[in-house]
Structures are given as structure tokens and as C-alpha cells.
Amino acid sequence: MASFKELRPSARVGVLVPTSNPTVEPELQYLVGDDIALYAARFPYTPDLDLAQRLEGYPQVFLDSAKAFGAIELNAYLASMTGASYGLLRAGDDALCEKLSAATGTVSTTACRAIRLALEALNAKSVALISPYPDWLTRRAAKYWEDCGYNLTQVVMMSEEFRAYEMESDEVAATLDQIDDAKCDAVVMTGTGMLTIPAILEFRERVQATLLSSNLCAAWWIMDTVGSKGSENLDAACPPLQKLLV
């Protein structure tokens, strides 16, 4: 007989998603399981703006969308987007999260801060960065992580153009093959639009470093924030993060 956990969730989480991002909801739901309900709202569609212009305006979009969930009582709020945080650096990203918490009335974070909290919880010091961004945004991402105090042992750019939403699992897997995992504590695959969980499951036991991605860390942050004991799927993808929840 069905448990209908998804109809009686233990927690409700609001997730703000980039307009054309096809990956956030399925990866997060897969990882958090059916005991946590995810309610998604999407950014306004702005095809007249280029990527740089959109990124500059997204922090305000995060705040403007704080009431998109109306009267739903949320246990947490996630702005599921990394690119906008990179130009803010650590202090600016933290300030944005504080503003989001005030605006939503609940504990809130950006995807970048969720990654950072996961790295801190794992006591990781050195990071290899995998980026689906163009060169200018990859450099901005690297600067953010260095500003956060991490030693970047390697930066691998997957494309000269922004293709995060189109990346196939075999492309992600091929990129993981380029990582010198003996030199880093963690591999961070940035970008919430890039499908990463299949490649993480394939490579987890073959790589010495802990494999992390934006959505994996965001899912862990959600579970940690709402008091969840984790899930089998999180355990399969990243046992070190699962152990922090139990």
C-alpha cells in the first residue's frame, strides 16, 4: 500500500529556479526523497537580456520572488542558481542570503552558499572546479571560491559557451576523467542546470576526492535545515554528506 508521504510532507521548501533550467527539480526531489515537498517558482523570462545582464539582475530577482509562494508556510527557501553569486564574492553572497531570509521569513540560501556549507562541513580545503560556463564566468567562479579560502587545484571548463542545460551525463563523466583527484579534497561541479547525479553515481567509488555538485549540496542543505535524517539516494551519491545527517 502506498505511503503517500509526498501528500503529508514533513517539510515544505520553496525553490526558485532559472526559467529554462530543466534539472533542479528532478535532481533535488530524487535526492531529498518524498518526505520533503519542493515548491518551485521560476525567474521571469527575459530573452532580450544576455547572460551577463541576467546575472547582474538575478540577486534582485531572488528578492522580488520571495513572496512567490504566497501563504505556504515554508521551512526553507533556496535560490537555486550559482552564477549570480559569483560576482558578489563571499561577503556579498552572505549578505544576499541574509536579505533573502528576512524577505521570506524563513532560513534561506543561494546554491553557492549551500556548496560552501557542504565543503565546510566536510572540512575540505582544496577543490577541483568543473565549470559548464564560458571563460569569463568560469574565471568569476574561480575567484569566488578563492575568496572563500579554498585552494583551487584545477579548473576544468567544459565549453566555450554556456551549455549547462544541454550537458549530457557522458560529457560530465568524460570531464571527471580529467580531474587529478589525488590533489584535491573535493570536486565541485558548479551550475544547477547541469545533470550530475548519474555521473556522480558512476564515478563515486573510482575517485579519491568527494564528488559534489550544486544540486547535491543544495539537497543536503535542505535536509540538514529541515532536520531530515537523509535518504538512500543521498547516501548512494555522497556517503560523507549523508553521514552528517544521521
Residue spans of alpha helices (H) in the chain: 24-32, 51-64, 83-86, 89-104, 111-121, 135-147, 169-176, 197-203, 214-226, 232-237, 239-243
pLDDT tens across 107-124, in order? 999 999 999 999 999 999
Fold of 5-243: Rossmann fold (3.40.50)
Give pTM, 2 decimals: 0.93
pLDDT bracket for residue 15 (50, 70, 90): very high
Closest CA to 187 of 150, 222, 161: 150
pLDDT the model gives residue 163:
54
Q: To the nearest whole percent, how much of the chain has pLDDT over 90?
A: 74
Q: Is residue 205's pLDDT more than 60?
A: yes
The owner of cell 579534497 is 185
